[in-house]
Amino acid sequence: MSFLTPLALLGLLLAIPVILLYMLRLRRREVMISSTFLWQQILRDSEANTPWQQLRRNLLLLLQLLILLLMALALARPFITVPAVSAGQIELLLDASASMNATDMPDGESRFEAARQQALSIIDTMSASDRMTIIRVTDVPEVLVTSTGDQNVLRNAINNAQPSRAEADWVAAFTLAAADAINREDFSLVVISDGGLGDAAGLPGVPGEVRYIPIGQSDSNQAITALATRALPGQPPQLFAQLTNYGQQDAEVIFDLRVDGELFSAERYTIPAGGSLPIVSQALPENFSVVQAGLTLPGDATVADFLSDDNTAWAVSSGAGSRRALLMSEGNLFIEQVLRSLPGIEAFRGDINRPLPTDPYDVYILDEWLPADGVLPDGDLLIIAPPASTTLFNVGAASEQTQNLTVAPNDPRTTFLDFGDVSILRFNQLSGVDWADVLVNSDGGPLVLAGETDGRQVAILTFDVHDSDLPLQITWPILMSNLLEWFTPRAAFSAPEGLRIGQSLAIRPPFEATTVRVTDLAGTIRDLVVDRETLSYADTELPGIYQVAILNGEQLIQSAPFAVNLFSPIESQIAPQPSISLSGNVIAPTVRDEVGQQEFWPWVALLALIVLMIEWVVYQRRMQVPTVFRPSLRRRPASG
């Protein structure tokens, strides 16, 4: 046994004044007595009050000296030499990813709690010259403590650390740890994890010696790995889900759906071992907003599900936050391609041989086609090369006077629009369009018009795009984007498939917006000030439904939900890895081949406290005055 602070043993010198106090004259307690019979103690009192009396056996003195000895030993910090995992400058990487929430450890303990105990064990064996940096590894690695040998600080950091529900970014974690390896020869990495390193396995090189402490015991886990909704024209909304069994036995599960908070269905399924089961729901309610899916084990389940974070998933309606456009055309690849390329546009193609679908759309694009009955759909219209007259306009003769193309200035619908290099073969002249503004004009008449009439917005291209080189120019997607933006202001964001935990959401607020308010599943509200064109919201640490509201002052402009889910095969695949691959090397579980120091002063201090309590009890008993028993005198009853 050795001591880290041996000078603290000088505290044993305090035993000298303690002993001297017992040798000096003592002051006796004053006690009321009932008889002078006790005066015979006067002689003994005189001897006791004599200073520098000879020490006699005294339990209190022995206990006080023992307390002093134990306190001095505790302050000297005794330790013994024990095997240790690492020494020198230690970079401890503590896995705090979603898989560490698995409860496959003894007594239902989580993997993260087991990892915490391993980390505390390493701290307990640190020598006086060792230093440790603790990095909590999650989607954004976090440095908890930077290069310190203070074990109390290190223990507090470990005890206060919490697991996340995100996928760990091990590449960033190793890069962050390697920053401390510069100009150090005693640098070492200690990885406490269940082994799911992902892309970090291909790192070109990690400095120092890497040691691996595996955590986990089982691979049994069932998860929802995909959830999405879609709606086809003329059909009810559909939901697609995928259930995955990462264990080695077939698993019986109950899959339930809740639509806008109400239970919609609950079915029992069998997921094959190591396989996936796709599920398609054909009859979701119309105009729903949010779907929540859940996965539970039946009461008679024979397999376990050790990770619950991937048993719940959310999806929003495929139309939420996007604009629905219906294209009626014999076939125009130019229009179809530009609709697919524009963000926030959900395009559908109708059959021109059938009546218009009854489902509502934000905008109807009629390409060289009009309804047979001449009744235009009740909505915003983009009409390209109209083949006949309607109640909105009259179609005249064709014209080839397409020279001197001019674009209306200072109009948001013509922003960045340049027709200088566009060639158009012919167009149809229109009349009866006093309600429309001319956006692009030529010598023969308007080529592009737009305006409002009968409570709806209508734009007209008077020429067939195949009769021009417009689709080959950058002007084409700009024109379509401007017109669709004018029809229906673009959504502030586009996340139809949702986000994964830890991903950021790009928000593009409209020009008049002043605040973007995001509310998460827990009800926490965060306001983003609109100070640039694109904002980023990154506080997606919790799975669930988030609500985005776009405000102009206190006036709501638009709002829409988006979903955040785990959906990470790396985290749901909870099978613990017996070894890890890093920088081309296979790293087996570490052994304690370093020399460390195990301190046990807390136990010595605890023993000193126990002895102190015993000493207090002994002292209190000695201070008590003995009670003299006096039998009571009773009067005998008079005899008869």
Q: Which residue in 15, 3, 12, 22 sits closest to 60, CA to CA? A: 22
Neighbours of 207 (CB within 10 A): 18
Domain end, chosen from 316, 334, 359, is at 316
Together in a domain, 354 and 464: yes
pLDDT tens by residue, 298-326: 988 889 999 999 999 999 886 555 678 89
How confident is the model over 125-169, as pLDDT tens digits? 887 778 889 999 999 999 999 889 888 899 999 999 999 999 999
pLDDT in tens, 453-500: 887 899 999 999 999 999 999 999 999 988 887 886 666 676 667 888
- Which CATH number covers residue 377? 3.40.50.880
pLDDT at 96 over 90: yes
What is the percent of the chain with per-residue pLDDT over 90, rounded to a whole number? 38
Q: Which of 391-395, 504-508, 596-600 has the lowest mean pLDDT?
A: 596-600
Domain range for 539: 499-565
Mean pLDDT of 588-614: 70
- 551 and 611 both lie in a single domain: no
Both 350 and 473 in one domain: the answer is: yes
- Regarding predicted confidence, which is higher, 241 or 28? 241
How far apart CA 547 and CA 552 sit, in angstroms, is 17
pLDDT band (50, 70, 90) for residue 244: very high
- Looking at residue 633, the DSSP 8-state letter turns out to be P
Residue 600 CB neighbours (<10 A): 15
Tokens of 603: 């136990």
Encode pLDDT of 341-364 as tens digits.
876 677 888 888 888 887 778 899
Average pLDDT over residues 273-297: 88
Per-residue pLDDT tens over the stretch 189-221? 889 999 878 767 666 667 778 889 999 999 999
Same domain membership, residue 461 and residue 335:
yes
Taken in order 164, 166, 170, 175, the sign of the CA dihedral is negative
- Is the pLDDT at 533 greater than 80? The verdict is no
Supply the CATH number for residue 509's domain: 2.60.40.1930
Q: Is residue 344 part of a domain?
A: yes
Domain assignment present for residue 632? The answer is no
439, pLDDT greater than 60: yes
Domain count, the chain: 5
Q: What is the pLDDT of residue 162?
A: 94
pLDDT at 83: 54
Q: Would you say residue 29 lies in a domain?
A: yes
The predicted pLDDT at position 611 comes to 79
**pLDDT exceeds cutoff 80 at 231:** no
Same domain, 468 and 514: no
Mean pLDDT of 557-585: 87
- Residues 253, 176, single domain; the answer is no
Among 41-45, 81-85, 99-103, 636-640, the range with the most confident prediction by mean pLDDT is 99-103
Question: Quick one: 180 and 281 in the same domain?
Answer: no
122 in any annotated domain: yes
Q: Is the model's pLDDT at 32 over the cut of 90? A: no
Together in a domain, 74 and 95: no
pLDDT above 80 (res 180): no
Contact 188, 209 (CB under 8 A): yes
Q: What's the pLDDT score for residue 251?
A: 95
Can you give the pLDDT at residue 640?
43
Same domain, 336 and 481: yes
Which is higher by pLDDT, 512 or 365? 365
Tell me the average pLDDT across 439-465: 92
The model's confidence at residue 593, banded by pLDDT at 50, 70 and 90, is very low
d(CA 361, CA 323): 8
Q: Average pLDDT of 274-280? A: 91
CATH number for the domain harbouring residue 182 = 3.40.50.410
Compute CA distances 124 → 153, 193, 215, 224, 254, whole Å: 12, 19, 19, 40, 45
Domain identity same for 483 and 512:
no
First-to-last CA distance in the chain?
86
Most confident of 54-63, 177-186, 537-546, 629-638: 537-546
Share of the chain above pLDDT 70, in %: 79
In a domain, 628, yes or no: no
Average pLDDT, the chain: 82
Q: Domain for residue 581, yes or no?
A: yes
Domain boundary among 271, 290, 316: 316
Q: Is the domain of 130 the same as that of 65?
A: no
Residue 631 lies in a domain: no
In single-letter form, the type of residue at position 560 comes to: A
Which range of 283-292, 393-402, 581-590 scores highest in mean pLDDT? It is 393-402
Q: Could you give the CA distance from residue 194 to residue 200 in angstroms, rounded to a whole number?
A: 14
For tokens 């109209």, name the residue.
386
Task: Please check whether residue 42 lies inside any domain of the structure.
Answer: yes
Does residue 46 sit in the same domain as residue 18?
yes
Q: How far is Cα of residue 309 from the mean position of the Cα atoms in its chain?
A: 11
The more confident residue out of 92 and 486 is 92
pLDDT score at 62: 78
Evaluate if residue 592 carries a pLDDT over 60.
Answer: no
State the pLDDT at residue 321: 53
Task: List all residues 6 or more positions away from 366 whose beta carbon is below 8 Å from its beta carbon.
Answer: 328, 329, 381, 382, 383, 384, 386
